[in-house]
Amino acid sequence: MKEKLDFNKKFEKTKQTKLKQEFFSIFIKKGYKIQKPVTLNNNKDKTVAFTGATINAYKDILKNSTLSNTLCSQECIRLHNLYNLDNNPEYLSNFNMLAITIKPDTSELIDSIKLFKYYLISNFNSKLLYFKQGKNNVINHILIENDFTPLYQNYNYQWKYGIDGLKGIGVGLCDDSGNEYGNIVAIYRNNELIGYEAGFGLETTLARMNNNTPFDNSIKLKELKQKYDKASTIKLDLLNLQKRLEELGIGTRDNKYRRKRILQKLNKSLSELI
């Protein structure tokens, strides 16, 4: 039984690595440059406790410059499950994102969406070619022209980045049932377009293709499941978060007050779960 589990774990790691490599290969061939990811406990970014999205790797650029054609793979932490101890959480606390950024040019956006569509069809399937239509008519139109089907209209998708004058307006990418896996966003600084970002969660996208949950596609949670066989999904997720914070060296003596409080809350939440 253990040999079978080890084989499955190795297969899943190989599969996820292949998906990342294919993503990089497609866009590098078209001249996209690799953006270095930031650490999960990025002390330069004072707006967040932890890196929660690929866009965190671009914060310095967003303050003063326009985006260029780049791609990024980023490990992320989000804390939504910590404050909602639901046994059926929707998303992972610790996950991986892939994304591209695009120049503030419509023709560049068209080319990028064509490549993105090719990647989705080649590695997943056409059930992912759906989106929740937002208020950016340029993105809406280009997606429809490239065979993405709008499921809903006038979703108010707006993003804030913790920087004055900076905002994002875009759409949610989803499967044919409306379950989201990513987004495409137009980013503005003082109402001037400075570029686009298209990103998706790797485990979540696999879940949409496989008709299961992001938790079923997390290699780390499957490893913990072998040790805590009867633990609930939310407990496995928070145990994995606790383990990752320990690996980062974040403890109750962490010099960032917000992180210290988060760890205290995490320990308390775990003690309340079965």
Lowest-confidence region among 166-180, 189-203, 215-229, 241-255: 241-255
Based on the fold, state whether residues 72 and 132 are members of the same structural domain.
Answer: yes
Based on the fold, state whether residues 156 and 268 are members of the same structural domain.
Answer: no
By the 10 Å C-beta count (0-12 exposed, 13-18 middle, 19+ buried), 70 is classed as buried
pLDDT at 248: 86
- Per the structure, the complete domain to which residue 123 belongs is given by 2-217
Based on the fold, state whether residues 195 and 232 are members of the same structural domain.
Answer: no
Based on the fold, state whether residues 105 and 232 are members of the same structural domain.
Answer: no
Based on the fold, state whether residues 191 and 226 are members of the same structural domain.
Answer: no
SS3 labels along 84-95: CCCCCCCCCCEE
The pTM score is 0.90
How far apart are alpha carbons 127 and 102 in whole angstroms?
25
Total domains in the fold of the chain: 2
pLDDT digits (tens, 9 = 90+) for 135-177: 888 999 999 999 999 998 767 788 999 899 999 999 999 999 9
| Whether 41 contacts 47, CB under 8 Å | no
Minimal CA–CA distance to 237: which of 84, 9, 46, 120? 84
| Whether 207 contacts 214, CB under 8 Å | yes
pLDDT at 15: 82
pLDDT digits (tens, 9 = 90+) for 21-68: 999 999 999 999 999 999 998 877 888 889 999 999 999 899 999 999
Domain boundary residue among 217, 235, 259? 217
Q: What CATH number is attached to the domain comprising 185?
A: 3.30.930.10
Based on the fold, state whether residues 135 and 227 are members of the same structural domain.
Answer: no
